[in-house]
Amino acid sequence: MFDSVAVAVLVRDAQRLHPGEPIFDLLSWHFLALAPGTDTTAALAALRARPEILYAYVHSEVIPPPP
């Protein structure tokens, strides 16, 4: 997790690199791992239909199983 100092540095850098642009709330960013064979098109459609979700997309990299 980030402490308040690290968050302040990220905010400062974002404001410097992209002045006037909104700063996204990274605490509301989530990663969802689906089981092999899951219908990703249907899963994305269900997520995108929710009003509180702004973006939903597939990240194609395969995640290794936990130890």
pLDDT tens, position by position, 11-43: 899 999 999 998 877 777 888 888 889 999 999
Whether 10 maps to a domain, the answer reads: no
Answer whether residue 67 is part of any domain.
Answer: yes
Q: Is residue 3 part of a domain?
A: no
The residue segments making up the domain with residue 44 are: 25-67
Q: Is 62 within a domain? A: yes
Inside any domain, residue 42 = yes
What average pLDDT does the structure give for the chain?
85
**pTM of the shown model:** 0.54
* Alpha-carbon distance values, 29 to 4, 25, 42, 53 (Å): 18, 7, 20, 10
Residues contacting residue 32 through CB under 8 Å, at least 6 positions apart = 43, 47
Q: Which amino acid is at 40?
A: T
Flag whether 14 is in a domain.
no
Q: How many domains does the chain have?
A: 1
The two tokens of residue 18 are 């992209």
